[in-house]
Structure formats: C-alpha cells, structure tokens
Structure 1
Amino acid sequence: MLTQILHYFQTDSSQYWLYVWQHIYLSLITLVIAMIIALPLGYLGSRIRGVAVFCTAFAQILRIIPSLALLFLLIPFIGTGMLPALIALVILALPPLLINTILGFNEVSPLYEEVGTALGMNQRQLRREVEIPLALPYILNGIKLALVEIIASATLATYIGAGGLGTLIFTGLGLYDMTYVVIGGVSVAILSLLSMIGFDFLIRRIQRHDRASYSI
C-alpha cells in the first residue's frame, strides 16, 4: 500500500492539494460564520438567564442530529453544493461555541469586575479589559472543539458535491481501493490534530498571561 500511496502523490499531487484546500476553505468559512452567530449569542446568554436556557437546550438538540442526516435533509430545500454543506456544518459547530462562550463569561469572578469598577472602568472597558480576556481560554476551547467537529464532518460534504478530502475517502470506498481511503482519512486526522495542538498551545499561553496579569 505504501508504494501505491507514493505513486498517488507522484502522479496526482496537484489534485490532492486541491482537495486539501477545498477542505480547509470550507472548514474556515464555516467556523467564521458559526462564530459570528454563536459568540454574541453566548455573551447574551451569560447575562440573560432566558437566553442561556434557550442556547443550552438548542445546543443539546443539535448534538443529537447526525451530520449525514442533516446534510440530506437540506437537499430538497436548497439542492447540493457548497451552500447546504455550509448550513449543515454551521449548525453542527454551534453547540460547543455557545456552551463554552456562556461558560467562559460566567466563570469571570465578580471580584475582578469590582476591582475594575473601583479603578474607574465603565462597562465597555470592563468587557474589553477584564471579561473578554478572562473568558478567552474557554471561548478558544469552544472554537477548537467546533473546528475539529467541522473538519471531521466536512468529509461528508462530498456526498452533496462540496468537494474536500471526503472525495478521496468515498472514491476509495466506491472503488474498493484502500489507498484513497487511507490518504483521505489520515489527511483529515492530521488537520484535526494540528488544529487541536495549535489551539491548546494558544490557550496555555493566554492562561499563563491571565494568571500573571490578574493575580491579586
């Protein structure tokens, strides 16, 4: 199999990198859209109990919907291609973003806000200088979980013509050729692993900075 994998990269490397680019592009666009929706809503949820209850219930409902089922449910309404894949992946990315954003802002100690108020900060300054930096590790953890979910689920988007590394996996399954399956599967795993390592490193750096900056 190793020989077949090497032969594939020698003959079809440009096609492979196209699939990688499609996968990364779809994943990043999905993540940005999901963040635009979830982060403000999560912040409101940390301030308004009713919004938090709605977000939590909404996130739990979304978690029980299979990725493939969601993709196929959208086909009769908006057809195939990039758009239904984006919608389905955004929906799948919302739960970890919502839950972790609410948790992050709720974990900010009132003591820090009291100190900021005593120093003369207004509400906007408190949010920018105190709340967001302290909640950021939780938010980044939510982004990490969402991105890993997106990268894994984006392989299924091939079913509706959105391209990506799933093309290799399903081509291999259709041809009973494990070479394509291995290349596609390992590539998706590497993208997920790199995302996790990168965000874990960033979260640790921010946590160390927070401990140094807000130690009282």
Structure 2
Amino acid sequence: MIIVEAIQWIAANLSTFTGAFNRHMVMSLISLAIGLAVALPAGIAVARSPRAAFVTVNVAGAARSIPSLAILAAAMPILGIGLLPSVIALCVLAIPPLLLNTIIGIREVDPAILDAANGMGMGRSDILWQIEIPLAIPSILSGVRTAAIQVIGGAALASFIGGGGLGDFINAGIAIMDMPRLLVGAIPIALLAILAELTFGWLERRVSHRS
C-alpha cells in the first residue's frame, strides 16, 4: 500500500524528513508572525476611516486573488532563492486575510457601546484596548485561521524557489514518478492544515462564547 510505503520511507530517512518538516514549520510560523505584526496595526489604523478601510479592503481582496505560485515566482527575480524570498512571499499570502478580518472585527463593534464608553470618559486608547480589540478577537482569529491554512499550503510551493520544506518531497515524487515520496510531503502538509483549522476554529469558538 502506498501510504505504508510512505511511512516506511519516513522511518528509513527520519533525519531528512525531520529537517524538511522543521523547515516547513519555520517558514510558516515566521511568515504568519510577520503577517500578524504588519496586518494587525494596519487594520486597526484604517478601520475607523471609511475611505481608508474601503481602499485597504479592496487592495487586500485583490491580493488574495493572486495565485500562490505567482507570488513565489515574482519574489525569485527580486530576492533570489532560499528561505528569505520564501518567507516574504508567504507573508504576502498571510497579510490579506489578517488585514481584512481585523478591519471587519473593529468595524463591527456596536457604535452604541463606543458611545457609552465615550460617555463614561474613556480615552481613545482605552476604548481600543479594552473594548474594540477584545470584541474583534473572534474575527481576528478567523483571519489567523485562514492565513495559517494558506501559508501552510503555500509553503509547499516554496520548494520551487529553494525554500525547502515538505514541498521538496512532493516535487521529487512528481519528478521521478514516486507516489510514496510524494505522499511523504503531501500527507503531513494536509495534516498540518487540518490541525490549524481545528485549533484556530476551537479558539475562535471559545473566545466568541466569552464575548
């Protein structure tokens, strides 16, 4: 059975598999962290300005329509090959859903709650940190879930520009028509995406119930 052969290959080449898996995780986590660091402040900054929010949402929406492979290919002539261009290209994948959901989360806070906070004498900073961001967290986590899944899947394509990771096994499997080798890369990526979906989905539900 092909899956059994894939497992046997992993057992026989554990250090190679572990190195690729760790590389995949490093690319994904760094890209997601940078995406959060960029998208959250930007989303908060433009959310209360209708014009700025409209422009940002449309730009982010257009960016989401760009295929992952096209982003990676565009990074290669500018940044070369390796981990850095792969991470930057994956950040481009991560930022749009994070940005969109941050803006949506902030804008969906009930204006009556904000008026009441103003009436109580709360400052703009206090309203942001004590009311807007806590109420926007479920929407933000939804964006994190979407971004994490896209980044994990997109990292498989980083192999095309020398980023390494589990995508190397997929490319090797396709090149030499070795299905077990292909599954060595494909199955862990699928499992990681499912784990991200379940984990962030669970966090989103927990936070929503507490809000």
Query: TM above 0.5, one fold?
Result: yes
The DSSP-based 3-state class of the residue aligned with 1:141 is helix
Question: 2:150, 2:3 → 1: CA distance?
Answer: 29
The DSSP-based 3-state class of the residue aligned with 1:162 is coil
- Structure 2 unaligned segments of length 5 or more: list them: none
Q: Which residue of 2 aligns with 1:187?
A: 188
Q: Which residue of 2 aligns with 1:65?
A: 66
Whether 2:18 is the aligned partner of 1:23: answer no
Q: Which residue of 2 aligns with 1:158?
A: 159
Q: Write out aligned runs for 1:43-192 (5 A).
A: 43-192=44-193
* TM-aligned CA deviation for residue 185 of structure 1: 0.9
2:21 counterpart letter in structure 1: V
CA displacement, residues 50-90 of structure 1 (integer Å, 9 cap, x when unaligned) = 22122112112212222112212222221111111112111
Whether 2:41 is the aligned partner of 1:40: answer yes
- Give the root-mean-square deviation of aligned CA atoms: 1.4
User: How many residues get paired?
Assistant: 210
With over 3 angstroms needed to count, the CA separation of the structure-2 counterparts of 1:2 and 1:56, relative to structure 1, is closer
2:129 counterpart letter in structure 1: R
With over 3 angstroms needed to count, the CA separation of the structure-2 counterparts of 1:46 and 1:87, relative to structure 1, is same
The DSSP-based 3-state class of the residue aligned with 2:38 is helix
- Structure 1 unaligned segments of length 5 or more: list them: 211-216
* Mean CA deviation greater in 53-62 or 76-85: 53-62
* Mean CA deviation greater in 118-127 or 24-33: 118-127
Question: 1:9, 1:90 → 2: CA distance?
Answer: 29
1:151 counterpart letter in structure 2: I
Question: 1:2, 1:192 → 2: CA distance?
Answer: 19
2:184 counterpart letter in structure 1: I
The DSSP-based 3-state class of the residue aligned with 1:80 is coil
Question: 1:51, 1:177 → 2: CA distance?
Answer: 50
Q: Which residue of 1 aligns with 2:205?
A: 204
Question: 1:2, 1:149 → 2: CA distance?
Answer: 25
Q: What TM-score do you get using the length of structure 2 for normalisation?
A: 0.94
Q: Which residue of 2 aligns with 1:213?
A: none
Q: Identity, % of aligned pairs?
A: 36
* TM-aligned CA deviation for residue 115 of structure 1: 3.0
The DSSP-based 3-state class of the residue aligned with 1:176 is coil
1:77 counterpart letter in structure 2: I
1:16 counterpart letter in structure 2: F
With over 3 angstroms needed to count, the CA separation of the structure-2 counterparts of 1:93 and 1:3, relative to structure 1, is closer
Question: 1:160, 1:21 → 2: CA distance?
Answer: 17
The DSSP-based 3-state class of the residue aligned with 2:193 is helix
CA displacement, residues 127-186 of structure 1 (integer Å, 9 cap, x when unaligned) = 111111100000110011011000001000011111111011111111100001112111
* Mean CA deviation greater in 22-31 or 12-21: 12-21
With over 3 angstroms needed to count, the CA separation of the structure-2 counterparts of 1:76 and 1:113, relative to structure 1, is same
The DSSP-based 3-state class of the residue aligned with 1:65 is coil
2:145 counterpart letter in structure 1: K
